[in-house]
Chain A
């Protein structure tokens, strides 16, 4: 760990292991069906990193798209494209169960020097 710390995600999805090698190293999005269209349409304006750190329902993702179309110059999608995008996001970036406060995550334990 030399320098600028970058948060990223690693995946053990079967899509990668089945192919033997990640078919597209050029992405952060989970390599599930439909990631290409999400990558193509969403990264015109913002990084994939903004997508992968968010989690919401299909309805929630739909509202985010509407908001971007209303206020951020996002283009209108065909019905088919929009369905593909929402299918992907709702499936792969759905809310996860968590309590009112999660257990602390500790990157590394270290000896505190007195």
Chain B
């Protein structure tokens, strides 16, 4: 976000200055307006999640009281299992992105995987009783699997796969697009372990008229209405039957983090992250395009034909986003680097392209006037991101921007400007830029 008034502060600092304000900022806790006791339900959930434990008497915990377990801990506060450098964009539901320099690992650690929630994650999960049901108009049977059955009945696979929020980069659209104002960091490429979705679907049996696979999870709607589903999306059969579309239970060899879908989720690599349903407990094989919440209207859709910025688009003229566009991110150095004259500047990062691969990455230090090719590695497997690196020579003192531009296997390049405006601000794949100065 390019807001000059933006300030960034740590939790202890916030609590020291103004405990009640800190409560509001972090947990949405506001006993003055709540009608449900001292703590709003979701604030309570967020605190419990941070403590990794339920607080039985939390409803009577006064506003502004920093939970002792956090206040007394010598370890700085963090979202459970997450890097303290993550930027929290929204606390209810929790949405947090990873700054580009923290995405430098070739395999994204679980602690640096962004968080995008549409609803409230489950408070407790019992893996022993967890069931995944598969049914639907175009399912030849109805089946139910325990986690143990999934793990033993089907061949496990481990693949490094990109998951990127469809709204990554939304903050740059003008006129502004409504929603979480992601900058660059709603993307990651961890190693996922699970089974192929197609193996499970084939075990259930796929009718000839199957069109779409839809997911449901156990996350709850923000309004607190238990009958409302926060999100239920899916993808067409051709994507469901790909080797890289997984039902996953592990990230980098360990159980999924709770906020990233524990104990079970879909991984639909290269498509908007919202297709990779979390806390997965139900799949439908449908005979039509799925019509669950966030499938219809304007959600995860862009105008079928390009429109001028700010245009009103009729719902019937919006098309579902499928593969994400070609993109890259500079993960080293962090923006703001100061160099001495003559000092070479190593630059590196990752590039990816939805369902496709990346064939080249170039950098420019003169605002796109000239471009220099980078060394580009092969992907670890299909739909993993690819690493690029180069050494940039800066010609003299002054302010420079390093821009990175990926080209995909079909010859499509990242634009230097923010691409086609759309009502909800999806698919911004404009070149990532960092600032460096030679002094």
Which of A's residues lie within 8 Å of B, judged by CB? 1-11, 25-28, 39-40, 43-50, 53-56, 60, 64, 67, 71-74, 95, 98-112, 114
Contacts and interface: CB of A to CB of B under 8 A. Distances in A.
Contact of A4 (B32, B79, B180, B436): B79
Contacts, number: 175
A50 B2 contact: no
Contact of B5 (A10, A48, A109): A10
B85 interface: yes
B25 A6 contact: yes
Interface in B388-439: 401, 416-418, 430, 433-437
A112 B175 contact: no
Interface string B323-343: 000000000011111110001
Contact of B180 (A45, A50, A112): A50
Query: Secondary structure at chain B's binding surface: helix, strand, loop or mixed?
Result: loop
B156 interface: no
A105 B5 contact: no
A6 B11 contact: yes
Contacts of B122: none
B179 interface: yes
21 contacts: A1-B9, A2-B10, A3-B78, A4-B88, A7-B6, A10-B7, A28-B24, A47-B92, A48-B24, A49-B25, A54-B181, A67-B297, A72-B222, A73-B223, A95-B174, A98-B174, A101-B417, A101-B418, A110-B334, A112-B333, A112-B337
B345 to A, nearest CB: 7
Nearest to A100: B417
Given A73-B221, A106-B335, A109-B338, A25 B228 contact: no
Contacts of B18: 25
B21 interface: yes
Contact of B3 (A3, A9, A28, A104): A9
Given A40-B33, A56-B178, A6 B293 contact: no
A78 to B, nearest CB: 18
